[in-house]
Chains A and B, each alone.
Chain A
Amino acid sequence: MPAVSKGDGMRGLAVFISDIRNCKSKEAEIKRINKELANIRSKFKGDKALDGYSKKKYVCKLLFIFLLGHDIDFGHMEAVNLLSSNRYTEKQIGYLFISVLVNSNSELIRLINNAIKNDLASRNPTFMGLALHCIANVGSREMAEAFAGEIPKILVAGDTMDSVKQSAALCLLRLYRTSPDLVPMGDWTSRVVHLLNDQHLGVVTAATSLITTLAQKNPEEFKTSVSLAVSRLSRIVTSASTDLQDYTYYFVPAPWLSVKLLRLLQCYPPPEDPAVRGRLTECLETILNKAQEPPKSKKVQHSNAKNAVLFEAISLIIHHDSEPNLLVRACNQLGQFLQHRETNLRYLALESMCTLASSEFSHEAVKTHIETVINALKTERDVSVRQRAVDLLYAMCDRSNAQQIVAEMLNYLETADYSIREEIVLKVAILAEKYAVDYTWYVDTILNLIRIAGDYVSEEVWYRVIQIVINRDDVQGYAAKTVFEALQAPACHENLVKVGGYILGEFGNLIAGDPRSSPLIQFNLLHSKFHLCSVPTRALLLSTYIKFVNLFPEIKTTIQDVLRSDSQLKNADVELQQRAVEYLRLSTIASTDILATVLEEMPPFPERESSILAKLKKKKGPGTVTDLEEIKKERSSDMNGSAEPASVNASAVSTPSPSADLLGLGAAPLTNSAPPPSSSGSLLVDVFSDSASAVAPLAPGSDDNFASPDLASSEVVSEEPADTVHDADELFHKFVCKNNGVLFENQLLQIGLKSEFRQNLGRMFIFYGNKTSTQFLNFTPTVICSDDLQSSLNLQTKPVDPTVDGGAQVQQVVNIECVSDFMEAPILNIQFRYGGTFQNLSVKLPITLNKFFQPTEMSSQDFFQRWKQLSNPKQEVQNIFKAKHPMDAEITKAKIIGFGSALLEEVDPNPANFVGAGIIHTKTTQIGCLLRLEPNLQAQMYRLTLRTSKEAVSQRLCELLSEQF
């Protein structure tokens, strides 16, 4: 690395920095900075040409001011000048400035690209290095377009210096990450792989990073890297601790390179060639052996570096999951770390062991550490380590230790940090269900959960216990007895009341024989909780009461009295009132037979994967719930756990989801013919729909209420894919101030947008991604404009391929021409067939009037002069509205700029206000627009005023912009 210019070489800079450091207050600092900015501005604008040294000094100052968090909007030109200098110190500062303060001004970019091109061709390794670093730092698409073809050549050329090769590899990596489409694979790929053999370890390190990333996307092309990586790794791990000179870190040979090589190997399965495979196994054994040897240095750096390599080696062993011997050794090694005095090691050991637990070879070995892990749960002082311990317990749980683990987790739950309680609750609920041999234990566990951490027991958990109790008749009596006893507690959690109410309503008769839990006592017990409960729970209890009328005719009059009381019949809550009225009516007029039919016991729930599991996965993200079995089921559970918009549900349900038999029960038959006419039927829908409210807003007596769950899941399918515009207004509004992002996403399809606009023209790239593994057929996206819109907006689209493969993405280009101002947005309609079902959805396409804005800078005087000219009441539209987001000035500024107008600083006499100006370009006219936004922090309100020469434009812009704050 060439020496950096000395800080003390620029006295002015040092003085300025120490001035800033000595500032006593923020205000003083800002004052000093403003003074300096004014000074630099005048110097740059002055007639006297500045010499290289002064330019460098001022640019450095600007950079420093930027680093302090102030915006810098000038100096780019001077920086570009410096960058073309032949002096290293000047060139370096120029590049630094450009790298840090990237500017999208195209004129400037052209100049910069030119300078870079010269430096790349200069054959001066230092200059080439600077240029490559600048490309990597900026990493923009323009840069990629200009240089992505050039860099691979530099990288593989025989005469390129090592340091340049190194930079070229990393530069290419950066460009590949930002614009993979612009980095072409080609002849160079095979030559890049051979860099793994390079003499220079720096080049090898850089190349390994590059190859790892490329290999993830193009495994076939880089397959040969496996054997090269293995032999390189082998040479490193067997080298003496001083062999590698500069690349030895505290007696550990090239630790970071080793980690990277091990990571590269994790892109591939175990090598097929037995020789390579043998050599790799040897390497891994050597690494494991070294962990047992006495350390070569007492320094913590030595052991840290050694352990970094060890952990990566263990990751590779787990990834291959094929050598039982290595897996068990890895497990033993991690076991030692579990009791290490360094918290970091304990944390990492718990984390690695979690993945080890899911391998069939090492599952048993992991289980031997159960006591240590439980102890960690009790004694560990760091919540993140405890969290890992919980994860590991969850991962190592099986039938043999479930009771112990669940008991320990419940124990821990009493004192657990609030941040992880909900997750523990979910985990306990899942384990209890999964490994229950005896369902009484399951019921006890869940009730304990509610007792200990009722607030953290989500709906999924108590829905699930009810599903299970209803499906298993051997546990119903026990469940009724247990909830009855639990409800005796003077204070019990509302979730317990819900479970209790539901279970007693169904199975209260099973314990009614005992005089201690006679019908009347059951009813009084429940009713004593009634007034303390929230509306949804009360609604549920009312359903329990009507069920009691059927179960226990002897207390019918008591219940009728309760229903008849003013607090029920005249309840302010419509749902409660309606239930009371209808249940009362039902109990009075219906014959016993009808009552018995209407209020029959709930039919068994169809078996499907636990909604709890889905919830846990949603919480943790896929892949982190480590259980082989579960990973296989992930697809089906995703279907279950959807909380997405309505039409999504429809498509999710229509997908044939493999019913996951978690309980080992036979699938319960679905009875289409006899819908169970139960008022609680409505609850069932909730259980599956993940909806927020506990009780579906269906009142008994209405026809809907008798819809069976199977109807709910089958009929919706045929009806729902109607042509309704997808209500993604929120997403639509997000695009008003930005051009790229995800427009729509459900479980099948993701739609991404990239768009650019210039004057009255625009181009939009729509990306349709098939998120499933199944082909979409007859895929037809259509952009629809209403008649009004057609005359003002010209849209041209190319048809796309009608089949979209699973996991694939297709792109569609829309060319846009704005003829005159317009109000509505075009609609994007998409139809396709997925797995036999027809899908149809529509979203608004965010092509809005403001996209055709060109910002206009103007002085305060000009602004107000024009403002006055547009004083005709028809030209002004004003909106006063409440802030929807936190009122942050910086965000507001960014939004106004994103909206397309120029943000005019120091124009409004009140600095808290924002003013902007711009011109809307249409084919027929250009419309000048002025806007002013006045925030009122106290009232959390805004007043937005738009003045343009055209009323409709003012109106539309005002609407669009008002939604943003």
Chain B
Amino acid sequence: MIKFFLMVNKQGQTRLSRYYEHVEINKRTMLEAEIIKNCLSRSKDQCSFIEYKDFKLVYRQYAALFVVVGINETENEMAVYELIHNFVEVLDKYFSRVSELDVSFSVSEIHLSVSFWCTFQFMLSSWH
């Protein structure tokens, strides 16, 4: 099961977060900071799965943006890993069509604030 879905940039600012399991707001900030620290400390030749507390993180990096998904033991890591890419492709397509701005995929806040909705719709329909 997917526990949460995060998009965090290299500076550690959360650009998007969805939790599918209750986590208190003040704990989220700490959790997110730790997660991004974990991701940043890894090099390219390390694998994309991190064991973290009692769950696993699957992450991918797109330029300065990390997409991180927290899953539990029963999830298929590779499927989630590729799901992230699928999701990013959808965003890419969606925004270049809608805003006509040349979105070279540096997902900026404006997109995210609007895409919040479609994210969730997408997440649900393809995986959750």
Contacts and interface: CB of A to CB of B under 8 A. Distances in A.
Contacts of B128: 170, 173-174, 209
Interface residues of A, number: 67
B47 to A, nearest CB: 4
B125 A170 contact: yes
B113 A67 contact: yes
Contact of B78 (A4, A92, A307): A307
A1 interface: yes
Given A347-B47, A381-B46, A256 B26 contact: no
B116 interface: yes
B109 interface: yes
A890 B26 contact: yes
A607 to B, nearest CB: 33
Contacts of B82: 249, 255, 301, 304-305, 308
A384 B124 contact: no
B128 to A, nearest CB: 6
Interface string B41-52: 001011111110
Contacts of B43: 381
Given A67-B112, A348-B77, A348-B78, A256 B83 contact: yes
Contacts of B110: 7, 13-14, 17-18
A64 B118 contact: no
Contacts of B117: 4, 92, 95-96
A720 to B, nearest CB: 32
B111 interface: yes
Interface string A1-42: 101111110000110011011000000000000000000000
Contacts of B47: 343-344, 346-347, 382, 384-385
A891 interface: yes
Contacts of B45: 343, 381-382
Contacts of B24: 894
Nearest to B21: A177
Of the listed residues B76, B108, B109, B122, the one surrounded by the most CB atoms of chain A closer than 10 A to its CB is: B76
B61 interface: no
Given A21-B109, A170-B128, A381-B45, A344 B85 contact: no
Interface in B62-77: 74, 76-77
Main secondary structure on A side of the interface with B = helix
A216 to B, nearest CB: 9
Contacts of A346: 47
Contacts of A63: 113, 116
B76 A259 contact: yes
Contact of A202 (B54, B76, B109, B125): B125
Interface in A157-186: 166-167, 170, 173-174, 177
Contacts of B46: 343, 381-385
B76 A263 contact: yes
Contacts of B113: 7, 13, 17, 60, 63-64, 67
Contacts of A890: 26, 29
7 contacts: A4-B98, A4-B114, A129-B121, A133-B124, A347-B47, A385-B47, A387-B51
Interface of B: 1, 14, 16, 20, 24, 26, 29, 43, 45-51, 54, 74, 76-79, 81-83, 85-86, 98-99, 108-118, 120-122, 124-128
Interface of A: 1, 3-8, 13-14, 17-18, 20-21, 60, 63-64, 67, 69, 92, 95-96, 99-100, 129, 133, 136-137, 166-167, 170, 173-174, 177, 202, 205-206, 209, 249, 255-256, 259, 263, 301, 304-305, 307-309, 311-312, 315, 343-344, 346-348, 381-385, 387, 621, 888, 890-891, 894
Ranked 7 nearest A-B pairs via Cβ: A308-B78, A308-B79, A382-B46, A347-B47, A343-B47, A890-B26, A304-B82
